[in-house]
Amino acid sequence: MASRYGLEIRAATGADAGGVAALLHASGISLAAGDLADRLDALRSGTGTALIAVEWGPPSGLVILHWYRSLAAQPVAQITTLLVGPDERRRGIGRLLLKAASQAARSAGCATLELGAAPDHDSMRAFCASTGFEPSGSLLVRPLRKRH
């Protein structure tokens, strides 16, 4: 998809699950590679995509976005995950992932891109502001099933 100085941004597949699991683990998120492979493949066949930044080894960044219809004339794209490995930050990888995600959203017919950042995540909010995102409402979440 996009490339810069040996860095490639491309769609993730189930074959990338091991590297993506390691990237997630380095950021404090534990998922089994087998489960992740199925989820990455499912994203490719649904209304969304997972893109990874790859240099010479395992992925150094990940962006996951989904698009959906609302009452607006065009679909809306929402980034649900934007992650760059702790040792890879401050190298422009997040910006390249965001650029590739924006291109994928435009290709899907979307006119708007959303990204949720927690109020206490100052570095993500600063990144969002520096890349053109503006505050718009808030996001609240609740489970659909009762917890046991």
**What number of other Cβ atoms are within 10 A of residue 116's Cβ?**
14
Structural domains in the chain, CATH included, are 2-130 (3.40.630.30)
The pLDDT, as a whole number, for residue 89 is 85
pLDDT tens digits for 3-15? 456 889 999 988 8
Determine what percent of the chain is predicted with pLDDT higher than 70. Answer: 91
The pLDDT, as a whole number, for residue 138 is 67
Contact 51, 101 (CB under 8 A): yes
Q: How far apart are CA 18 and CA 12, in angstroms?
A: 11
Q: How far apart are CA 2 and CA 97, in angstroms?
A: 9
The model's pTM: 0.84
pLDDT tens digits for 106-130? 999 888 888 877 777 788 888 888 8
Torsion sign (Cα): 101, 61, 1, 16: negative
Residue type, 114: E
CA 109 to chain centroid, in Å, comes to 18
Kindly list the distances between the CA atom of residue 63 and the CA atoms of 53, 72, 93, in Å, as whole numbers in the listed order: 9, 24, 10
pLDDT tens digits for 68-105? 888 877 888 899 989 998 888 888 899 999 999 999 99
